[in-house]
């Protein structure tokens, strides 16, 4: 395959314009875009269909930027109000962040990022209008296509178009995202990414929250993003009063699970022979750096954090949730508690099938993971 991403920069923008009818993508993103395009040309071997999928994915990022630019022009008042201090859930992947996020989102005092709005930022329309919205229907269709292609993904990481999802895809607007390295082997981009100043990314993200939440401006945001471990210094610079809920689980388990998920995520791009070893090594190296960075930031801002242990949340979820509310100084109403319990009852673990994984065939061992995460394991008492 001789196609070049670097040579396709203009085509990417033209395709985005054809899809959304807009040409204003904002400023400041081209250096990051070009770094990604270079890595796609030189670091990885995509299948023919994988090349097109990654092309379309970058186009969607540009479309999202265009929607944001238009939204800020059409609703300039959204940039004039201050957000209430948000709550951010973070932690290593596969440590319960998704379930915790979704159950806390049952409390109507919060607002969250619904999946379909992340790629199409706009003031959140009334819920009754979503089914007739073309952009919402497109998101539903894309998720159904993903799960047809990789059925195991639904058990490992279910995504629902009208439910809350993580910040990762919205921060992707700045072309600074570990999300790209999840789907392809991109070591040069990953190394560059880890050296960046993330405050500008979070400022754009903040303004997107202002746009999406314009009609609920008084509600605090409930956010979730394991990838924020790499950029917490920038997050706290932009959201200095935020509360950070950090989830914890033995990294031997979370990394093995994450490696399995990462390989699944690469199959549509690199094909069924994509390397499990490369995916597993990426999990150890990348998230090892992420947890090191997060621990350093936490030492500088210890009062901003609430800890949640995966084992506690799995065994006593409502007890854990009440502890979170107490630590955050929040009131949990009887109605919200009942809604959370219903969600827990209706969404047991493995609802969409069991996600089976192991370190066999990855080229890494439990001891390798323990050594890389030793300081984190010791600090939080996570030894098996």
pLDDT > 80? residue 361: no
> Which has the closest alpha carbon to 97: 221, 226, 220?
226
Question: What is the model's pLDDT at position 364?
Answer: 83
Residue 237 falls inside a structural domain: yes
Taking the CA atoms of 75, 80, 85 and 90 in sequence, report the sign of the dihedral they define: positive
Residues 89 and 224: beta-carbon distance below 8 Å: yes
The mean pLDDT value for 326-330 works out to 94
The mean pLDDT value for 112-131 works out to 95
Question: What is the model's pLDDT at position 355?
Answer: 45
Question: What is the model's pLDDT at position 358?
Answer: 67
Q: What is the DSSP string of 161-208?
A: TTSB--THHHHGGGT--THHHHHS--HHHHHHHTTS--HHHHHHHHHH
pLDDT > 70? residue 357: no
pLDDT > 70? residue 123: yes
Question: What is the model's pLDDT at position 90?
Answer: 97
Percent of the chain at pLDDT > 70 equals 95
Residues 24 and 27: their CA atoms lie apart, in Å, by 9
The mean pLDDT value for 249-263 works out to 82
Question: What is the model's pLDDT at position 169?
Answer: 85
> Which has the closest alpha carbon to 67: 139, 142, 144, 5?
139
Residue 265 falls inside a structural domain: yes
Residue 1 falls inside a structural domain: no
pLDDT digits (tens, 9 = 90+) for 146-170: 888 777 766 666 788 899 998 888 9
Percent of the chain at pLDDT > 90 equals 75
> Which has the closest alpha carbon to 157: 115, 104, 205?
115
pLDDT: which is higher, 209 or 159:
209
Residue 82 falls inside a structural domain: yes
Total domains in the fold of the chain: 1
The mean pLDDT value for 298-303 works out to 92
> Is 90 strand, coil or helix?
strand
Centroid of chain to Cα 369: 23
Residues 352 and 330: their CA atoms lie apart, in Å, by 32
Question: What is the model's pLDDT at position 189?
Answer: 97
CATH of the domain at 238: 3.40.50.300
pLDDT > 50? residue 192: yes
Q: Tell me the average pLDDT of the chain.
A: 92
For residue 67, the enclosing domain spans 6-380
């Amino acid at each position: 395959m001789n196609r070049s991403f670097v040579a396709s920069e203009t085509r990417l923008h033209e395709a985005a314009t054809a899809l959304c009818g807009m040409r204003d993508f904002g400023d400041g993103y081209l250096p990051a875009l070009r770094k990604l395009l270079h890595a796609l040309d030189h670091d990885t071997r995509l299948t023919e269909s994988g090349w097109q999928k990654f092309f379309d994915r970058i186009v969607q990022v540009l479309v999202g930027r265009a929607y944001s630019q238009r939204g800020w022009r059409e609703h300039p008042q959204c940039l004039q109000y201050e957000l209430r201090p948000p709550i951010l859930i973070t932690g290593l992947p596969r440590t319960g962040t998704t379930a915790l996020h979704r159950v806390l989102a049952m409390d109507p005092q919060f607002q969250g990022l619904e999946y379909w709005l992340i790629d199409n930022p706009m003031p959140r329309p009334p819920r009754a209008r979503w089914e007739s919205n073309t952009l919402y229907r497109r998101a539903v269709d894309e998720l159904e296509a993903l799960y047809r292609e990789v059925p195991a993904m639904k058990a490992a990481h279910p995504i629902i178009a009208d439910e809350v999802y993580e910040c990762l895809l919205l921060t992707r607007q700045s072309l600074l995202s570990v999300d790209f390295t999840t789907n392809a082997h991109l070591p040069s981009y990953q190394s560059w990414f880890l050296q960046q100043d993330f405050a500008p990314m979070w400022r754009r993200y903040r303004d997107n929250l202002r746009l999406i939440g314009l009609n609920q401006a008084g509600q605090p945001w409930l956010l979730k993003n394991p990838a924020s471990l790499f950029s917490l210094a920038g997050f706290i610079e932009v959201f200095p009063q935020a509360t950070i809920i950090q989830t914890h689980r033995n990294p031997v388990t979370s990394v093995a699970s994450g490696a399995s998920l990462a390989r699944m995520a690469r199959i549509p791009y690199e094909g069924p022979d994509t390397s499990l070893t490369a995916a597993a090594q990426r999990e150890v190296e990348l998230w090892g750096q992420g947890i090191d960075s997060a621990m350093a930031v936490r030492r500088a801002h210890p009062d901003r954090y609430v800890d949640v242990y995966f084992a506690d949340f799995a065994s006593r979820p409502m007890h854990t949730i009440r502890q979170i509310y107490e630590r955050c100084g929040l009131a949990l109403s009887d109605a919200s508690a009942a809604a959370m319990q219903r969600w827990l009852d209706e969404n047991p673990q493995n609802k969409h099938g069991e996600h089976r994984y192991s370190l066999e065939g990855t080229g890494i061992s439990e001891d390798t993971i323990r050594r890389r995460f030793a300081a984190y394991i010791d600090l939080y008492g996570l030894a098996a």
